[in-house]
Amino acid sequence: MSLYRNSAWFLKGLTEFTKGAYLSESKNFVEKDLETSVAGRSFMITGANSGIGKATAMAIAKKAGTIHMVCRNKDKAEEARAEIVKESGNKEIYVHILDLTETKKVWEFAESFKKKYKTLNVLINNAGCMMTKREENDEGLEKSFASNSLAVYILIKSLIPLLEKSPEPRVITVSSGGMLVQKLRTGNLQSQRGRYDGTMVYAQNKRQQVVMTEQFAKAHPNIHFSVMHPGWVDTPTIANAMPDFHSSMKERLRTPEQGADTVVWLAVSEAAVKNPSGRFFQDRQMVSAHLPLAWTHSSQLEDQKFMSVMEDLAKSFQPH
């Protein structure tokens, strides 16, 4: 990462990604955007037992939505579900146990879900995995890539037929401002070359999510796709993987509810879908997915090559 990108990103973060920035921006929010019931609509949320995912599930449950919580840890998921049911009074909350780093199981889960449920209105790809050292899953894939990129690709790809036959379908992916310092690099998806830096691998995965969103939006105009940055949020992922950053920025970090606000807005509001599909959002606004003069743009050809590589890789793990 260049010194310019690093400095520009951190200065941008201090002015736009903090709790103070959220409180300032929220003064411009239109309250009635979220004054809606989503009874009868179903929402799949990955990583829904903590942090932004849990806050999103809670907010939508309070609006009477049916929630499908996709979580790795059964005990934590059931505990979160009980809390959501108790606070929202909504019993239409379902737990699905899935480790997104296990690629074949992601396919199996999605295919099984399609057979069991008749509708899915909104898919929210929220779960995030930040590794401190390079590890591979049992299928030989680097775990950050498997969870943050390939699992997202497979869930979207597999669930598109179900989404397309459901009213007002949307796909929202929770990215990260870290992707602003990364240009798409298709040649090293498994982080096999060079020194492994878990934070930068995570940021690259998040850039990949932005490109996926743009490309899926072009291919499937009947679904509203969006990708967003929640700001710097006090979540278990940040606390565990970036302890120094977490401790030094603790007072400035957003709450999970503040981080979830734009996710919920994208998932339930009519205002959100008036924006073009495939765009990047921050604090309920469509914003650029690139820093000025940062040279992180990839060509249409590069983006298409990336999607082709993802398609081939995903197919190689698809159950027959």
Q: What is the share, in percent, of the chain residues with pLDDT greater than 70?
A: 97
Asked if residue 242 has pLDDT above 80, the reply is no
pLDDT of residue 301: 95
Instruction: List, for residues 15-50, the tens digit of each pLDDT value.
Output: 999 999 999 999 999 999 999 999 999 999 999 999
Please name the residues in contact with 109: beta carbons below 8 A apart, sequence gap of 6 or more. Answer: 70, 96, 98
What are residue 94's DSSP bridge partners? Answer: 68
Instruction: List, for residues 151-165, the tens digit of each pLDDT value.
Output: 999 999 999 999 999
Burial (CB count within 10 angstroms: exposed 0-12, middle 13-18, buried 19+), residue 142:
buried
Name the amino acid, one letter, at 273. V
Instruction: List, for residues 163-214, the tens digit of each pLDDT value.
Output: 999 999 999 999 999 899 899 999 999 999 989 999 999 999 999 999 999 9
Q: Is 202 an active-site residue?
A: yes
- Side-chain half-sphere exposure of 246, counting CA atoms within 13 A: 12
Confidence band, pLDDT 50/70/90 cuts, at residue 139: very high
What are residue 193's DSSP bridge partners? Answer: none
- Phi, psi (5° rounding) for residue 97? -95, 120
Please name the residues in contact with 132: beta carbons below 8 A apart, sequence gap of 6 or more. Answer: 198, 241
pLDDT of residue 200: 93
**Is 205 in contact with 182 (CB distance < 8 Å)?**
no
Of 71-80, 92-101, 136-145, 175-184, the one with minimum mean pLDDT is 175-184
Name the amino acid, one letter, at 183. K
Question: pTM here?
Answer: 0.96
**Is 295 in contact with 276 (CB distance < 8 Å)?**
no
End-to-end Cα, the chain, rounded Å = 41
Q: Of 4, 94, 117, 202, which residue is the catalytic one? A: 202
Asked if residue 131 has pLDDT above 80, the reply is yes
- In the block, tokens 């300032």 appear at 24
